[in-house]
Amino acid sequence: MASRRRRVLRVAAVLLVLGGVGLAGLWAFQRQLIYFPDETPVGEAARALPGAEDVTLATADGLELGAWLVSPRAEQDRRWAVLLLPGNGGNRLGRVGLAGLLRDEGFTVLLVDYRGYGGNPGEPSEEGLAHDADAAVALLADRGFPSSRTVYLGESLGTGVAAALATRHPPAGMVLRSPFTELAAVGAHHYPWLPVRLLLRDRFPVLEHVRDSDVPLVVVRGSADDVVPTGLSAEVAAAAPNLVEEKVLDGVDHNDPAMFGREVVDAVVALVPREG
């Protein structure tokens, strides 16, 4: 009996060590499960989109990040800007179509890549992306678009960036496409067997920021979203003190073309007067 007990204790000790090593590995490498940058340099702005200009964002922690500023035709110019804060994958080449649609509606569009994306230096993190967003706001202000004449358009993970940015630099309005309540809620949905809330270093508490904000808000969500559960997006909409609209795209998944198309553009348009 004593020998059997010792064997059981040894097995338990090994399992505890292996579990600890696994959790330590998840702690160390978790950002590789959150951020999926396409690091490929994107080339010149004008080649990707007529009317686009290469610009540089200077962050508070010393990075210089490439971005594109897309200007509308003079006769269409609303004299309003859209700051497009992307999700966790790809780079700004993948958002050219959406930026073009916004430009055709008369908006000036700042299309950013975070640190580590699109040939930019640095490694992504919640704190780092906050610095990147602050630098984007500063560039728009230098170009004549203070936050009071800017709409923030956050996409998926970018909803976390946008919601936090709105607490520091309140915009004229905000569109959150596929928002989550907090990043841990998405992680717990996809990895229910892991203690996600204990391990997660980057929190992105969207619901907390939205609940405390009076910024006019449109939430866009797909009813068939398999990345961010649509119920999480619905919670964000329900908590907003100044919800302008909740647009539910029936049968649409997280990265379907509709999520980069007319419905999202119309959500931005709804927040901005035609003239002024």
Domain ranges of the chain: 1-33, 38-269
- At 5, the pLDDT band (50, 70, 90 cuts) reads low
- At 15, the pLDDT band (50, 70, 90 cuts) reads very low
For the chain, the average pLDDT equals: 88
- At 13, the pLDDT band (50, 70, 90 cuts) reads very low
Q: 38-269 belongs to which CATH class?
A: alpha beta
Whole-structure pTM value? 0.88
pLDDT score of 265: 97
Q: Would you say 131 and 152 are in contact if contact means Cβ atoms under 8 Å apart?
A: no
pLDDT score of 187: 86
216-237 pLDDT, tens digit each: 999 999 999 999 999 999 999 9
- At 21, the pLDDT band (50, 70, 90 cuts) reads very low
Q: Residue 38: pLDDT above 80? A: yes
The average pLDDT across 144-151 equals 97
- At 273, the pLDDT band (50, 70, 90 cuts) reads confident
- At 31, the pLDDT band (50, 70, 90 cuts) reads low
Q: Residue 33: pLDDT above 90? A: no
The average pLDDT across 111-118 equals 96
pLDDT score of 30: 54
**Cα-based torsion angle of the residue sequence 80, 112, 242, 182 in order, rounded to the nearest 10 degrees:** 180
Q: Residue 135: pLDDT above 50? A: yes
pLDDT score of 216: 97
Q: HEC profile for the chain?
A: CHHHHHHHHHHHHHHHHHHHHHHHHHHHHHHHHCCEECCCCCCCHHHHCCCEEEEEEECCCCCEEEEEEECCCHHHCCCCEEEEECCCEECHHHHHHHHHHHHHCCCEEEEECCCCCCCCCCCCCHHHHHHHHHHHHHHHHHCCCCHHHEEEEEECHHHHHHHHHHHHCCCCEEEEECCCCCHHHHHHHHCCCCCHHHHCCCCCCHHHHHHCCCCCEEEEEECCCCCCCHHHHHHHHHHCCCEEEEEEECCCCCCCHHHHCHHHHHHHHCCCCCCC
Q: Residue 168: pLDDT above 50? A: yes
List the structure tokens of 117. 């994306």
Residue count (the chain): 276
